[in-house]
Amino acid sequence: MVKSFLFKSFLLIFSHQILLFELEPYENSYSENLGTGKVVEKLEKISDGIWKISSKARHPLFAMNQESFFKINNKEVILISGFRNLDILGGLRKDYQTYKIYSIDNKKMMDYSYGKKKGSSEIPFNVFDNLTLQIQIKLNVPNEDKFKINYIDKGSVKEKIFLRETKNILFKSIEREIFEITELRKDKRYFKFWVQKNLNHKTIKVFQGGRGFNIEWLLN
Protein backbone atom coordinates (compact mmCIF):
# COMPACT_ATOMS: atom_id res chain seq x y z
CA MET A 1 0.00 0.00 0.00
CA VAL A 2 1.08 3.68 -0.19
CA LYS A 3 3.95 4.71 2.17
CA SER A 4 7.50 5.96 2.44
CA PHE A 5 11.45 6.51 5.14
CA LEU A 6 19.56 6.38 6.74
CA PHE A 7 20.22 4.11 9.06
CA LYS A 8 23.60 2.43 9.50
CA SER A 9 22.97 -0.56 11.70
CA PHE A 10 20.50 -3.38 11.51
CA LEU A 11 18.13 -2.51 14.33
CA LEU A 12 15.22 -4.77 13.73
CA ILE A 13 15.47 -7.55 16.33
CA PHE A 14 12.53 -9.91 16.45
CA SER A 15 13.89 -11.63 19.50
CA HIS A 16 10.76 -13.49 20.61
CA GLN A 17 8.14 -14.98 18.36
CA ILE A 18 4.55 -14.63 19.51
CA LEU A 19 2.93 -16.76 16.85
CA LEU A 20 4.51 -18.38 13.82
CA PHE A 21 3.09 -17.55 10.42
CA GLU A 22 3.20 -20.23 7.76
CA LEU A 23 4.11 -18.70 4.41
CA GLU A 24 1.77 -20.01 1.73
CA PRO A 25 0.74 -18.59 -1.67
CA TYR A 26 -2.38 -16.43 -1.58
CA GLU A 27 -4.35 -13.81 -3.45
CA ASN A 28 -6.26 -11.25 -1.39
CA SER A 29 -8.42 -8.41 -2.61
CA TYR A 30 -9.33 -5.28 -0.65
CA SER A 31 -11.98 -2.64 -1.25
CA GLU A 32 -11.79 0.96 -0.16
CA ASN A 33 -14.38 1.88 2.47
CA LEU A 34 -16.21 4.26 0.12
CA GLY A 35 -16.28 1.68 -2.66
CA THR A 36 -14.16 3.67 -5.13
CA GLY A 37 -10.85 1.80 -4.92
CA LYS A 38 -9.49 -1.72 -5.05
CA VAL A 39 -6.23 -3.49 -4.18
CA VAL A 40 -5.19 -6.98 -5.22
CA GLU A 41 -2.22 -8.50 -3.38
CA LYS A 42 -0.70 -11.79 -4.51
CA LEU A 43 2.01 -14.00 -3.02
CA GLU A 44 3.61 -16.63 -5.28
CA LYS A 45 6.35 -19.21 -4.83
CA ILE A 46 8.55 -18.76 -7.90
CA SER A 47 11.09 -21.50 -7.25
CA ASP A 48 12.57 -23.38 -4.34
CA GLY A 49 13.21 -20.68 -1.74
CA ILE A 50 12.26 -17.69 -3.92
CA TRP A 51 8.99 -15.82 -3.45
CA LYS A 52 7.28 -12.96 -5.26
CA ILE A 53 4.73 -10.62 -3.73
CA SER A 54 2.87 -8.11 -5.88
CA SER A 55 0.24 -5.47 -5.26
CA LYS A 56 -1.94 -3.52 -7.67
CA ALA A 57 -3.99 -0.59 -6.37
CA ARG A 58 -6.56 1.42 -8.30
CA HIS A 59 -8.26 4.51 -6.89
CA PRO A 60 -9.71 7.69 -8.45
CA LEU A 61 -6.78 9.66 -7.01
CA PHE A 62 -3.92 7.26 -7.74
CA ALA A 63 -2.73 3.99 -9.23
CA MET A 64 0.13 1.93 -7.82
CA ASN A 65 1.92 -1.24 -8.90
CA GLN A 66 4.48 -2.90 -6.64
CA GLU A 67 6.48 -6.10 -6.91
CA SER A 68 9.14 -7.66 -4.69
CA PHE A 69 11.23 -10.82 -4.86
CA PHE A 70 12.56 -12.29 -1.63
CA LYS A 71 13.69 -15.44 0.15
CA ILE A 72 13.34 -16.65 3.72
CA ASN A 73 16.25 -17.57 5.99
CA ASN A 74 15.43 -18.61 9.57
CA LYS A 75 12.17 -16.65 9.62
CA GLU A 76 13.93 -13.59 8.20
CA VAL A 77 12.83 -12.01 4.95
CA ILE A 78 15.78 -11.38 2.62
CA LEU A 79 14.76 -8.82 0.00
CA ILE A 80 16.30 -9.49 -3.44
CA SER A 81 14.77 -6.89 -5.77
CA GLY A 82 11.65 -4.91 -6.40
CA PHE A 83 9.95 -1.89 -7.90
CA ARG A 84 7.22 0.59 -7.09
CA ASN A 85 5.31 2.59 -9.69
CA LEU A 86 2.96 5.28 -8.37
CA ASP A 87 0.85 7.64 -10.50
CA ILE A 88 -1.08 10.38 -8.70
CA LEU A 89 -3.96 12.27 -10.27
CA GLY A 90 -3.60 10.63 -13.65
CA GLY A 91 0.17 11.10 -13.87
CA LEU A 92 0.36 14.67 -12.52
CA ARG A 93 2.91 13.28 -10.09
CA LYS A 94 4.88 10.10 -10.68
CA ASP A 95 7.06 8.03 -8.38
CA TYR A 96 8.94 5.17 -10.02
CA GLN A 97 11.72 3.39 -8.17
CA THR A 98 13.59 0.12 -8.50
CA TYR A 99 16.13 -1.65 -6.29
CA LYS A 100 18.33 -4.72 -6.43
CA ILE A 101 20.18 -6.02 -3.39
CA TYR A 102 23.28 -8.21 -3.38
CA SER A 103 26.38 -9.07 -1.34
CA ILE A 104 29.99 -8.37 -2.36
CA ASP A 105 33.19 -8.44 -0.26
CA ASN A 106 31.14 -9.09 2.90
CA LYS A 107 29.12 -5.94 2.23
CA LYS A 108 25.44 -5.58 1.52
CA MET A 109 24.88 -3.37 -1.53
CA MET A 110 21.89 -1.87 -3.29
CA ASP A 111 21.62 -0.73 -6.90
CA TYR A 112 18.70 1.67 -7.21
CA SER A 113 16.90 4.06 -9.50
CA TYR A 114 14.43 6.77 -8.60
CA GLY A 115 13.15 8.88 -11.46
CA LYS A 116 16.28 10.03 -13.31
CA LYS A 117 18.50 9.28 -10.32
CA LYS A 118 20.56 6.07 -10.32
CA GLY A 119 23.28 4.79 -8.02
CA SER A 120 24.68 2.17 -5.70
CA SER A 121 25.11 2.31 -1.94
CA GLU A 122 26.10 0.14 0.97
CA ILE A 123 23.14 -0.68 3.17
CA PRO A 124 22.45 -2.40 6.53
CA PHE A 125 22.44 -6.17 6.67
CA ASN A 126 18.73 -6.38 6.03
CA VAL A 127 16.14 -3.99 4.68
CA PHE A 128 12.49 -4.13 3.65
CA ASP A 129 10.14 -2.41 1.27
CA ASN A 130 6.38 -1.79 1.46
CA LEU A 131 5.45 -5.38 0.76
CA THR A 132 8.18 -7.37 2.51
CA LEU A 133 7.87 -5.22 5.63
CA GLN A 134 4.46 -6.70 6.32
CA ILE A 135 5.59 -10.23 5.50
CA GLN A 136 8.47 -9.90 7.99
CA ILE A 137 6.19 -8.66 10.74
CA LYS A 138 3.82 -11.58 10.19
CA LEU A 139 6.63 -14.14 10.08
CA ASN A 140 8.06 -13.00 13.35
CA VAL A 141 5.69 -10.80 15.32
CA PRO A 142 7.85 -8.88 17.81
CA ASN A 143 7.23 -9.31 21.49
CA GLU A 144 8.16 -5.68 22.14
CA ASP A 145 5.44 -3.05 22.11
CA LYS A 146 7.68 -0.86 19.94
CA PHE A 147 10.08 -2.07 17.29
CA LYS A 148 12.23 -0.60 14.52
CA ILE A 149 12.72 -1.64 10.95
CA ASN A 150 14.97 -0.57 8.06
CA TYR A 151 12.97 0.60 5.05
CA ILE A 152 13.97 1.32 1.44
CA ASP A 153 12.73 4.55 -0.11
CA LYS A 154 14.08 6.60 -3.04
CA GLY A 155 17.54 5.05 -3.01
CA SER A 156 18.15 5.36 0.73
CA VAL A 157 17.38 3.33 3.83
CA LYS A 158 15.41 4.94 6.61
CA GLU A 159 14.13 3.92 9.99
CA LYS A 160 10.51 3.21 10.68
CA ILE A 161 9.14 2.73 14.19
CA PHE A 162 6.03 0.67 14.84
CA LEU A 163 3.76 0.04 17.80
CA ARG A 164 2.20 -3.40 18.29
CA GLU A 165 -1.01 -3.88 20.24
CA THR A 166 -3.25 -6.92 20.69
CA LYS A 167 -6.95 -6.16 20.46
CA ASN A 168 -10.34 -7.81 20.17
CA ILE A 169 -12.40 -6.17 17.45
CA LEU A 170 -15.62 -6.72 15.55
CA PHE A 171 -14.95 -7.14 11.82
CA LYS A 172 -17.75 -8.02 9.43
CA SER A 173 -19.95 -8.98 12.38
CA ILE A 174 -17.39 -11.47 13.71
CA GLU A 175 -15.33 -10.94 16.86
CA ARG A 176 -11.64 -11.41 16.11
CA GLU A 177 -8.35 -11.19 18.00
CA ILE A 178 -5.86 -9.08 16.06
CA PHE A 179 -2.46 -7.48 16.14
CA GLU A 180 -2.78 -3.78 15.42
CA ILE A 181 0.48 -2.54 13.88
CA THR A 182 0.80 1.26 13.82
CA GLU A 183 3.61 3.29 12.30
CA LEU A 184 4.75 6.05 14.67
CA ARG A 185 5.43 9.22 12.69
CA LYS A 186 6.30 12.82 13.45
CA ASP A 187 4.23 14.29 10.65
CA LYS A 188 0.46 14.22 10.28
CA ARG A 189 0.36 11.14 8.09
CA TYR A 190 -0.52 7.76 9.49
CA PHE A 191 -0.41 4.09 8.54
CA LYS A 192 -1.62 1.07 10.46
CA PHE A 193 -2.96 -2.38 9.70
CA TRP A 194 -4.83 -5.18 11.40
CA VAL A 195 -3.44 -8.71 11.29
CA GLN A 196 -5.74 -11.52 12.32
CA LYS A 197 -4.11 -13.54 15.09
CA ASN A 198 -4.12 -17.08 13.69
CA LEU A 199 -1.86 -19.31 11.58
CA ASN A 200 -2.73 -17.42 8.40
CA HIS A 201 -1.93 -13.98 9.87
CA LYS A 202 -4.11 -12.41 7.20
CA THR A 203 -4.18 -8.63 6.92
CA ILE A 204 -7.86 -7.78 7.21
CA LYS A 205 -7.81 -3.97 7.27
CA VAL A 206 -5.38 -1.16 6.39
CA PHE A 207 -5.67 2.49 7.41
CA GLN A 208 -3.68 5.24 5.72
CA GLY A 209 -3.86 8.95 5.21
CA GLY A 210 -3.19 12.40 6.61
CA ARG A 211 -3.32 15.92 5.20
CA GLY A 212 -6.97 15.49 4.30
CA PHE A 213 -6.45 12.12 2.62
CA ASN A 214 -7.90 9.20 4.55
CA ILE A 215 -8.52 5.68 3.27
CA GLU A 216 -9.49 2.38 4.82
CA TRP A 217 -8.94 -0.84 2.87
CA LEU A 218 -11.03 -3.84 3.91
CA LEU A 219 -10.43 -7.47 3.04
CA ASN A 220 -13.15 -8.82 0.76
* 8-state DSSP, 132: H
H helix or E strand, kind and range, residue 135: helix 130-139
How many C-beta atoms lie closer than 10 Å to residue 162's C-beta?
21
Give the C-alpha separation, 21 to 134, whole Å. 12
Which pLDDT tens digits describe the chain residue by residue (220 residues)? 333 332 222 233 232 334 446 788 999 999 999 889 999 999 999 988 899 999 999 999 899 999 999 999 888 899 999 999 999 888 788 889 999 999 999 899 999 999 889 999 999 878 999 999 989 888 877 667 888 999 998 888 999 999 999 999 999 999 999 999 999 988 888 899 999 987 678 899 999 887 777 899 999 9
pTM: 0.85
CB 149 within 8 A of CB 159: yes
CB 100 within 8 A of CB 110: yes
